[in-house]
Amino acid sequence: MKNVSIVVFVILIALMAQSCSKENQVTPASQNTLGQVVPASSTNSTVSDNLLLLKDGRMAKPVSGIPNFNKMPVGNTLSLSFTTGTDNNGVIDIHVTKFETALDSVFVLKPANLDADTDPDTATFKLRGVYAGVVSYMADSTDVSSIVNKNTSISFSSPNNYSCTGVTNGYPASGSGTFVSSHGTFVWMGVISFTNSNTNSSSVLNGSFRYFVTNTDLLCLYATRNGISYSFYLRK
């Protein structure tokens, strides 16, 4: 009888330990947001390697839940629900539980993790070197398969000069000139204005663009030209 009591006691202890272990396991909270498909590197859009730029400015890699994600066209906007996993040098693994194409959604970055130590009076925004990638637009705003991606690059040099390789028979055409940037409290999000040295045509890199620089050195430029919305995804 004594041996039976000991066995029962051991079983009870084991059950209590298992119960406590389950209580201590915290299930990651599901998050809902918009995400935009962006290239993972400066190589062109034919390379099957994509990431998601989330609306709060984070970079994410779907490790489950989106079949054939790497074959999705750059520039596609998704509405998705997900839980987060490991952070790999600024790119978060996410497990997607639900997603759909969000053609009618306006993708405006609203970063949540802001650098409160940035001094707007002394901070400067400096672009130097060559940023290469794609310029993306939708030929038909109702059809995600109509997304067009063209290779382009912009070279920035001191003090405020730029040159663009341009897109053959597309936007932007090649050109060069000067640029100025303006921003609010945070230097990595604001407006860049390009002025081509030879023409004021909207067919070249002219005028103002909203810019955003991610924590993985992805430079995003957004503008509307002749009724078409263009997005640039460029890496140094």
Q: Which residue has the tokens 């382009």?
A: 152
Q: Compute the radius of gyration of the chain from its Cα atoms.
A: 24
Tell me which of 51, 82, 101 is where a domain ends.
101
In angstroms, the first-to-last Cα distance of the chain is 76
For residue 229, which amino acid is it?
S
Look up the CATH number of the domain holding residue 58: 2.40.50.500
pLDDT tens for each residue of 115-152:
433 344 444 457 889 999 999 998 777 777 888 999 99
For residue 96, how far is the Cα from the chain centroid? 16
- What is residue 42's predicted lDDT score, i.e. its pLDDT? 59
Query: Do 74 and 147 contact (CB within 8 A), yes or no?
Result: yes
The DSSP bridge partners found for residue 92 are 60, 87
pLDDT tens for each residue of 37-57:
998 875 544 444 789 999 888
Total number of domains constituting the chain: 2
Asked whether residue 2 is domain-assigned, the answer is: no
Q: What is the pTM of this model?
A: 0.73
**Higher pLDDT among residues 205 and 21, named by residue:** 205
Asked whether residue 22 is domain-assigned, the answer is: no
pLDDT tens for each residue of 182-236:
877 667 788 999 999 999 999 999 999 999 888 777 899 999 888 888 999 998 8
Tell me the CA distances in angstroms from 233 to 29, 80, 100, 131, 137, one per residue in order: 30, 21, 22, 9, 11
Asked whether residue 116 is domain-assigned, the answer is: no
Query: Are residues 176 and 224 both part of a single domain?
Result: yes
Residues 102-122 have a mean pLDDT of 56
